[in-house]
Structure 1
Amino acid sequence: MDEMWAHSANRAGRRHALTEHLRGTSLLAGEFADAFDARSLGAYLGLVHDVGKAGCAWQEGLLRAEAAGGRVVDAEGRGIDHKAAGTWLAARTAGLGFFSMPLLGHHGGLPDTQDLKRCLYLAETEARDRVQEAIDRAAALIPEIRTAPAPKMPAWVASANDLHAVELLIRMAFSALVDADFLDTAQHFRGRSLPVATSLGTLSEPFEEARSAYLKRRMGSSPTPVDAIRAEVYEQAVQTALQPRGIFPFPAPTGSGKTIAAGGFAVHHAAEHGLRRVIIAVPYMSITEQNAQVYRDLFGDTHVLEHHSSIDLHRQPRGRKWQKLAAENWDAPVVVTTTVQLFESLFSRKPSAMRKVHRLAGAVIVLDEVQALPDAMLLPILSALRHLTEYFGSSVLLASATQPAFFDLDIFRGLQARDVIARPQPLYDRLRRVRYRWWCDPKPTFRQVAQEAAGEKQVLLIVNTTGDAMRLHEELAAVWRHDGPVLHLSTRMASAHRRAVLDLVRMRLENGLPVAVVSTQLVEAGVDLDFPTVYRAMAPAEALQQAAGRANRNGTLSEGKVIVFDPADGSTRGTELVYGAALGVSCSYFGPDGEDPDHLSTLRIYYRDRYAVKNVEGSGTGRQIQDRRAEFDFPTVAKQFRMIDELSVPILVPYGDEAERDELKERLHNPERIEPAVFRRLQPYLATLPAPLAKYAVARGLAAELVGDLYEWLGPYHPERGIEFAYPKPEDYNK
């Protein structure tokens, strides 16, 4: 028995030796786990993860698969388990207990405790001979499989009395293992050397140089009145970066330069503490695209990974596992992603989603527009953020113009908030650039709103649903009084379509030309627009203030106008789906008889009441998830954790370069593996629809399934509004 094999022959005709794969995976997994003080654990899991492949049945099955194609099966065509041997070794010989769960799940996903008990029972009964044979054969070539001492755990584990922290450690160990396994396997099949990422801390000086050049280009010879305040905000962020690691609330008004200041905080904090990367998460892909470009300018193209693909490849046929693993692993100094991608990966159980999770350790995590985190998921999200800072060497920056009252919740009790802005209210007062007007009694119709807005030369109107945006756009286009376009923005439009609209809007604003835009809320958080007048349909306080940030953003007017209207014919059901009880609580504090939304002390009270009304910590899905996490029930957690209540799916639409779209569609059917670059290139051509509506469209021949949860739109695509498709009943329009 000179050698055994882990994988079949590559293009060069060379098989992957099992000893080479186990030791290579061990080396990588140990290196990855070192970021959270668990090198010994990661290395051990990597060493034993494929011990079961040493069994005679598996080795014979591999040779059959290599000759005939297909997966590894026994002579009767049944699958051959190779996970039980390593799982048993870890649980019984090394005494790892629940920390053997990553081994059992390293292909199919993290299991629950009953799955683990069942695996160990079978390994000690009916599968005993097969398991022991594999261990004996593997140990003959790699003696340390049996002789290595039990891996050391991070020091905090012995005294930890919080099962959620332990659960997060299991997730991190699993992530380190599956990423190492994938990279070592890919190196065999693809012949690629492993990339070495630049340390974030070395980029602080180039960042400052690039920032100076960026600001000169942006401001030119005539800085705006707001630019001096933005410089002050930046200096406070950089000074705060010298503080110890922890959680940093960053309340600052819209238009105060949070994007650049967050980057400055991250790079200087990383240099101060030796942190490895910055992961910047934003709520909407429209912001991701904008922020990624800013950070490419500041950090350099080669250091920034923009990862926000909305395509879910978990729903793939069993034989296409390479496509499931074709995911980014965030091995870059700067990662720009979405909060959905970040947290649904963190609370997933699948290797393809979780292989990047270990990169959160020893990182600066910037949550931009943090007010957009869903209330129902706050408990597990805040729990994870706390433990990342307490046990995994990370720091978290919570950036928002409407800073939520997270530190008033029990989940953050005892934590020290390291405030970036020591006294935020004076900053808000200095940057107050708008006057609010409330148009709620009597409620206006969309037609009345359109007729009034048509008199404005440059105006932005924001509503709560895609259906409302389409209707208001039609109304405004019919009465618009100026020689300029009436534009539309929503997720029913391709990403590149939205970007083209935003570029046109900015050009016309900068040149004083007439322009009107009707949009859903995707435009109100972080999108750099400066209108003199903004209309906003009634929404919670944080949405109103974010919308106000698009009015007189650069302070060039004495004051901008923000008209908050409560549409008589708006989609009540759709608004309730978007905002829920938050809207009712907001109306108790803000409005014609209350405060404006930028009153910080009232905003804090509003958040407290909102969390109480929704019972954020006491019951509901968030509490259920926490209970399941404490039981190490990874499948149930993955099923229950949803950042978006109603699942939306990506739709490839007929917009843009037809030849490139066709090429990318062809590459989606690669039988071996879809490269991550394909998904990045697809993004400009994707709109979104609610999943039930997409299936409804398929049934009517207007859409077709492509791969995973990606659909192709076969129906008409409106040149201004994108996909115009709804259920036949008006009350279901916003499903």
Structure 2
Amino acid sequence: MNNLDYVAHVKQDDYSGDWHEPHRLEEHLRKVAKLSASKAGTFQSSGWGMAAGLWHDLGKYRGAFQKYIRDASGYERENAHVENPQRVTHSTAGAIHAINQWPSVPGYITAYLIAGHHAGLPDWSGDRGSLQFRLQGAGPEYSEAMEATIPEDLLTAIQPDVPEPARNTDSISLWMRLLFSCLVDSDFLDTESYMAPERVSQRGQLPKLSELQSVFFEHMNQLQKAADDTPLNRTRKSIFETCQRSAAEPPGIFSLTVPTGGGKTLASLGFALEHARKHGKSRVIYAIPFTSIIEQNAAVFREFLGEESVLEHHSSLDVDPGSENAGSRLAAENWDAPLIVTTNVQLFESLFASRTSRCRKLHNLVNSIVILDEAQQIPRDFHEPITRAMQQMSEHFGVTWVLCTATQPDLGKQVDAFGSVLHTGLDNVREIIQEPAALAGELKRVNIEMPSDPDEKISWQDLSQQLVKEDCVLVVVNKRQDARALYELLPGSGDLYHLSANMCAEHRSRILAEIRHKLSERRAGSERPLRVVSTQLIEAGVDVDFPVVYRAMAGLDSIAQAAGRCNREGRLPNHGRVVVFQPEQLPPPGFLRQAAQVTRKLLRSGQLNEPLSPEAIQAFFSDLNTQGDRDKHAICGLLKAESSPDAPLAIQFREASDKFRLIDDKGIGVVVPFCPEGYEETPVDQWLAMLEQDGSWKWVHRKLQRYSVTLPESLAKQLHGMGAIYERAGKFVVESSHYHPVWGVQAPDSLIPAESTVI
């Protein structure tokens, strides 16, 4: 068969039904190799990217594959290149070829990348999907492919030098995941150029980060000039200017310790943009612990930088690996934007991922600036793998990190009395604010009223009677079901609102807008009572300002965040009040309960006379870190490269990825039928109909992010079983009867597990 007859992809016209000219296999291999080499060149690994691209689809030269892709019928034909064990496989042939070309470790490095370019990076050992098993049984696949007429230059490549991070058994797995990202993104992009050529012209139209810098600082200058000349605003300006000056320092790892309300969101972005200008950084990634405030921060950044300058990327609607198809693969995000606003879950689970759609973006982390907003929210059980990856990304791949919080966690090394390292951590972290303790005193705007008896509990009924006496109050509780129970006990007179993560982002945004409007009316003289009951989602940066805040007993860091919603703008003649109470039920088991118990322990020992002082916060985190293991799931060991005569390079990529779950009960994103005021019907139906026609439209997926809720997997399955969730356009969709205008997604109480009630 002539080499031009070998096919990589085919597609059918949506309207006429005619078949387009096929995507030639040789052309695909050469283009993917060129793209992959270019992307890997950003971390001095272009030769590795080139070879992986040339060989990734060698298995498609098999006669069996060519027959399959030509004989498959209907839309399935467009998905024929998406490998499935039930179909004719093609990814292992290139892996064997890499080992034959480059014996020992270099060949196995490339083999992992090629073998995983559809199903994800494999483990070395284990089930039938392991690399060891696949290599043992794929001889016929390789020999059949080699019977084809393949240009000699496609089959040969000069073995590249091994770069520094690949020479270390602890860091080689991260380097390989970045290489894998280059390969799969290049594969996706070249496939898209054939499947949807009209979209190629849309790429590369976003502004460069350097273009945004002058726009941002001009807006900030105008904002500061228009702001009232108050002590608080003068302090915020000083913080911003300190960040701008510090941006000239060499890249590395920074901390920005600023009390809530000090303007650290814009100050940290100012640091990042100036740092990017000084040091030629490529993009800024702003990671937030909760999806609940992504929309708020993204809206602020768009106001400063323009609508098209910000990519807002949740994790709630990522495609499940078991349901990938041609459209969903093209819709996966690659973070090719100057400013990305995302979640900690999306950032770190991607950094440790094995599957293609999650890994696709990783190479765009190279030479970037990553701001971790509310850094104290990094789960302690993952401190060691996260800090190890952060340190490696900083040392080897040009990433500058900014740990941005009011309550800095302890992410440094842990050593024993003899100086031996118990746990790795961050080295050489530079604090941007030189005197955080003095700044904390300067920005103090609240008094914390801790319980006189930490063991004395209060019922929701008794608490509601206290709240009735407050004309304007925010109450923050630990669980979704607690928020609902308390809300139902409060009187309907005045304005009463509920917030939890059972509500989609669009729903929450509209409720928060109403709350801010009511707060504004009260400042203008309205005496109408305003009471808000929320889960902890309101704590991480949500811009509201109450004179009184009640907080259910929690970790000291959470109490500090709740305090940030009290007298936020310093308008009260005296300090605001933050009242901490002990509900009858403890927080859910696990980290949240441990944090609350540490706070109570410090309270009993008399160490919380000034609960928000740096000394109290340090004592809290020091005690909390002793309550568990900083690498609970032994992820660092799974990603450490082992070598033996039978296994030159053994790494458990998939097992590590499966265990790296920042949320214990893996969430499932569901689309909800929220209908905003002013709409006759929910816009979700229209968007789902569009995805039924073409599942690769990224802008539609992004629209649906704001109409999605992440449910614990156990709860989602139960709702699906009772018919409250159905499938449409590759999404799980909630029936309208199960989305309440106040609570959001609702299910019978008997179906709500304890873990689903958090946030």
- TM-score normalised to structure 2 length: 0.88
Is contact 2:290-2:343 (8 Å) kept? yes
Contiguous gaps of at least 5 residues in structure 1: none
Residue number in structure 2 paired with 1:675: 697
Could you tell me how far 1:587 is from its partner in structure 2?
1.9
Report Cα offsets for 1:24-43 as digits up to 9, x if no partner.
11121112112222122112
| 1:600 maps to 2:608 | no
**515, 520, 544: which one pairs with 2:559?**
544
Which residue does 1:392 correspond to in 2? 397
- Alignment partners' CA distance in 2, 1:311 and 1:328: 11
* 1:342 alignment partner in structure 2: 347
Q: What one-letter code is carried by the residue in structure 2 that aligns with 1:521? A: Q
Equivalent of 2:100 in 92, 96, 103 = 92
Distance 2:755 2:652 in 1: 37
1:215 is displaced (CA, Å) by 4.3
Aligned to 2:286: 280
Q: 1:641 aligns with which of 618, 643, 660?
A: 660
Q: Which residue number in structure 2 is paired with residue 451 of structure 1?
A: 465
How far 1:239 sits from its partner (Å)? 1.6
Counterpart of 1:354 in structure 2 is: 359
Matched to 1:288, the amino acid is: I
* Partner SS state of residue 250, structure 1: strand
What is the 5 A alignment of 1:616-695? 616-617=630-631, 620-621=632-633, 624-631=634-641, 632-656=651-675, 657=679, 658-670=681-693, 673-695=695-717
Deviations 1:658-702 (A, max 9, x none): 2512112323434x5342222211123223432222222233333
Please tell me the residue identity of whatever aligns with 1:565: F
Cα 1:718/1:148, change in 2 over 3 Å: closer
Alignment of 1:306-385 (within 5 A): 306-317=312-323, 320-385=325-390
**Corresponding residue number in structure 2 for 1:167:** 173
Structure 2 residue 218 is the aligned partner of structure 1 residue 209? yes
User: Residue 10 of structure 2 aligns to which amino acid in structure 1?
Assistant: S
Q: CA deviation at 1:578?
A: 5.9
Q: Tell me the distance in 2 between the aligned counterparts of 1:706 and 1:97.
A: 43
Q: 1:35 aligns with which of 29, 42, 57?
A: 42
1:109 aligns with 2:120: yes
Once structures 1 and 2 are overlaid, which stretch shifts more, 539-548 or 441-450?
441-450
Residue of structure 1 equivalent to 2:644: none
- C-alpha change, 1:591 and 1:485, in structure 2 (3 Å) is farther
Cα distance change of structure 1 residues 407 and 336 upon mapping to structure 2, 3 Å threshold: same
Look up the equivalent residue of 1:533 and give its one-letter code. V
Do the aligned partners of 1:309 and 1:680 also contact (CA within 8 Å) in 2? no
Cross-structure match for 2:20: 13
Residues in 2 aligned to 1:357 and 1:733: alpha-carbon distance in whole angstroms: 30
Cα drift, residue 714 of structure 1: 4.1
- Corresponding residue to 1:562 among 578, 603, 609: 578
Whether the 8 Å CA contact 2:43–2:366 is kept in 1: the answer is: yes
CA-CA distance at 1:628 after TM superposition:
1.0
Residue correspondences, number: 707
Structure-to-structure mapping, 1:212-291, within 5 angstroms: 212-215=221-224, 219=227, 222-291=228-297
- On the 8 A contact 1:467/1:734 being kept in 2, the answer is no
* More deviation, 661-670/538-547: 661-670
Give the aligned residue type for 1:323: S
1:496 aligns with 2:481: no
Residue number among 209, 218, 228 corresponding to 1:200 in the alignment? 209
Matches within 5 A, 1:70-149: 70=77, 72=80, 79-95=87-103, 96-100=106-110, 101-114=112-125, 115-123=130-138, 125-134=139-148, 137-138=149-150, 140=151, 143-149=152-158
Change in CA separation of 1:87 and 1:487 when aligned onto 2, cut-off 3 Å: same
Moved more, 725-734 or 712-721: 725-734
**What secondary structure sits across from 1:193 in the alignment?**
helix
Query: Is residue 541 of structure 2 the alignment partner of residue 526 of structure 1?
Result: yes
CA contact (8 A) 2:711 2:756 kept: no
**Fraction of identical pairs, as percent:** 35
Q: Do the aligned partners of 2:30 and 2:53 also contact (CA within 8 Å) in 1?
A: yes
Distance 2:166 2:45 in 1: 11
**Amino acid of the residue matched to residue 486 of structure 1?**
L
Contact 1:462–1:535 (CA<8 Å) still a contact in 2?
Answer: yes
The whole-number CA distance in structure 1 between the counterparts of 2:307 and 2:725 is: 36
Residues 181, 361 of structure 2: 8 Å contact kept = yes
Contact 1:122 1:128 in 2 (8 A): no
* Alpha-carbon separation, structure 2, partners of 1:423 and 1:412: 26
- Mapped to 2, the partners of 1:308 and 1:68 lie a distance apart of 29
Counterparts of 1:392-471 in structure 2, within 5 Å, are: 392-409=397-414, 411-412=423-424, 415-439=427-451, 441=453, 442-471=456-485
Q: More deviation in 243-252 or 57-66?
A: 57-66
- Farther-moved stretch of structure 1 (522-531 vs 30-39): 30-39
CA distance in 2, matches of 1:392, 1:552: 42
Distance 1:228 1:524, change over 3 A: same
Whether contact under 8 Å (1:667, 1:674) holds in the other structure is: no
**Structure 1 residue 378 displacement after superposition:** 1.7
d(CA) in 1 for partners of 2:702, 2:388: 31
